[in-house]
């Protein structure tokens, strides 16, 4: 059976630089940043004090206020982004088969706000389990974002949730792509969501010494591929896309944003948190995605890199790109948008594939901001500091997670 083609017809995002895709894209192109001093709690005892927080988010715009009291914030972000994607698609529930419409939404960490608040309450009331919320478990479990989005939209088809750290959203989108390709669904709402800026979540990454400590200059703290990078900046938000089988979209006259044509995944089998220094897993992942799309490596024009602003990741990913693409690596535009958004963990891949879609749509490549000092180990074209006009027809997005989870998506300009 010939694989069915898959297109994107809707995108939605909640990010530290805006709560719509339009606001996100404007910030990316202009080189603005959502990074600042963390204000959710007292950071006096924390070695890092910078983060990329969501601002002015109003869940009541997307869901019943009574319901939201039973939802953790990571679920609220997911529902909001999914409804944005749904609205853009122009679909209506009476025109689809709900049994062929599914949801695949994940989170790297899940309901950490709920876990912490309920644990504090448990201790305060003398460890009385009868005082715990009956919604404790359904509020904290990762799959609830996918489950509640399906309830909100009435999607009764395939429903699942990946948990692969920073590769979560990319795996969810890639797996949804395969679900549609093989005919198990015509529509899939897919992506990732994260809201782990709590004392325990933030403190855990501080303990790992993974976060930037550029506390006196927070706007320049996230600086992917720059020689002076000292760690990533933790962020939050959601990135969700609506995938649709091509003929299904064409039949209804949909506005097709681009085609999702390739997906690669691999494992490092190396270390709990550190990437394989040689980048073998990332090399294979990118190569698989390009092959899956039926393209050659030199067909790729732009890479939205994982680019976390950590010493090990940026050095490894640069080496992996050189190995995978050979001489073509130096003809590629490579940028990391994490200088603008921070690292959204399980939501990162969802937001970053949207950046690729917008690049193909607008002919503008978003820059790697805060790039000041070249690193000899990172010697590619990182589109430093200023957006670039360029005709891009093929782009890939990399997501590389703790545990050695690697995922790559390839999108291309839609040709009917």
Catalytically active residues are 166, 306, 343
Q: Between the CA atoms of 17, 402, 179 and 252, what dihedral angle is there, to the nearest 10 degrees? A: 10
Helix (H, G, I), strand (E, B) or coil at 261: strand
d(CA 342, CA 333) in angstroms, rounded, equals 20
The structure tokens listed for 2 are 């010939």
Nearest CA among 192, 163, 210 for reference residue 78: 192
Q: Is the four-CA dihedral 203, 209, 210, 213 of positive or negative sign?
A: positive
334 alpha-carbon distance from chain centroid? 17
**Helix intervals (H) in 90-239:** 112-124, 136-140, 144-153, 168-181, 199-207
User: Can you tell me the distance from the alpha carbon of 411 to that of 393, in angstroms, rounded to the nearest whole number?
Assistant: 8
Question: For residue 182, how many other CB atoms are within 10 A of its CB?
Answer: 11
* Nearest-angstrom CA–CA distance, 148 and 143: 9
CA atoms of 393 and 293, how far apart (whole Å): 13
- Nearest Cα to Cα of residue 405 among 264, 267, 270: 267
């Amino acid at each position: 059976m010939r694989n069915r083609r898959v297109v994107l017809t809707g995108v939605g995002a909640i990010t530290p630089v805006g709560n719509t895709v339009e606001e996100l894209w404007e910030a990316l192109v202009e080189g603005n940043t959502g990074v600042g001093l963390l204000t959710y709690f007292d950071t006096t005892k924390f070695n890092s004090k910078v983060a990329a927080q969501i601002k002015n988010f109003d869940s009541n715009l997307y869901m019943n206020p009574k319901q939201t009291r039973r939802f953790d914030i990571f679920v609220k972000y997911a529902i909001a982004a999914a409804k944005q994607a749904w609205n853009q698609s122009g679909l209506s529930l009476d025109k689809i088969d709900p049994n062929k419409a599914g949801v695949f939404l994940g989170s790297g960490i899940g309901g950490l706000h709920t876990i912490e608040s309920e644990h504090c309450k448990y201790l305060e009331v003398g460890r009385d389990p009868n005082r715990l919320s009956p919604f404790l478990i359904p509020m904290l479990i990762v799959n609830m974002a996918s489950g509640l989005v399906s309830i909100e939209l009435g999607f009764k088809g395939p429903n699942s949730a990946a948990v692969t750290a920073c590769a979560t959203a990319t795996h969810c989108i890639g797996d949804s792509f395969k679900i549609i390709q093989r005919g198990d669904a015509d529509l899939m709402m897919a992506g990732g969501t994260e809201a782990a800026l709590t004392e325990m979540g933030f403190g855990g990454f501080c303990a790992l010494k993974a976060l930037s400590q550029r506390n006196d200059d927070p706007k320049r703290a996230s600086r992917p591929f720059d020689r002076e990078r000292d760690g990533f900046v933790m962020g939050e938000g959601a990135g969700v896309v609506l995938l649709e089988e091509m003929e299904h979209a064409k039949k209804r006259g949909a506005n097709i944003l681009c085609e999702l044509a390739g997906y690669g995944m691999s494992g490092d089998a190396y270390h709990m948190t550190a990437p394989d220094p040689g980048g073998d897993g990332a090399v294979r992942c990118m190569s698989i995605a390009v092959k899956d799309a039926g393209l050659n490596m030199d067909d790729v024009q732009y890479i939205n890199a994982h680019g976390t602003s950590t010493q090990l990741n940026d050095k490894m990913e640069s080496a992996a790109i050189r190995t995978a693409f050979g001489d073509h690596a130096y003809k590629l535009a490579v940028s990391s948008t994490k200088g603008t958004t921070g690292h959204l963990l399980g939501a990162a891949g969802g937001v970053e594939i949207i950046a690729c879609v917008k690049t193909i749509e607008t002919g503008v490549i978003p820059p790697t901001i805060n790039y000041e000092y070249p690193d000899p180990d990172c010697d590619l074209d990182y589109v430093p500091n200023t957006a670039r006009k360029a005709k891009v027809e093929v782009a890939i997005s990399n997501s590389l997670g703790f545990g050695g989870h690697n995922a790559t998506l390839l999108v291309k300009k839609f040709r009917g």
